[in-house]
Structure 1
Amino acid sequence: MNEQYTSLSTTSNVVQAVIDTLKGLDPENVTVPSDTTVIMQDVQAAIARQFKQGGC
């Protein structure tokens, strides 16, 4: 049970780091989606795939 909570906490931290990084990029050089929900779902899906493949 503890491992599941650790994984969820780690996922949350990774998602937040990605969102913070994207918000800090120069909008003239990149297109950053304004809806952070989409970003969050993409990152969570990528992390879930890694867990299923045994990559994390």
Structure 2
Amino acid sequence: MRRMRKVLVHALYYAMERGKLGSHPLERIRWRVPKPAIAVDPRPVANPHQAAVC
């Protein structure tokens, strides 16, 4: 997520340098990186029998 945001921010700064944007639109937005999920839900994970069939 951080990498995608950095790419977007740099693309917007580049557009500002080229004169395509008057101001940086993301400066008005407060954004935080979402916290990752710690627990893994075992329901969607394949059991050994299902994995052997595939």
Measured against the shorter chain, the TM-score band is 0.3 to 0.5
Q: TM-score, normalised by structure 1?
A: 0.36
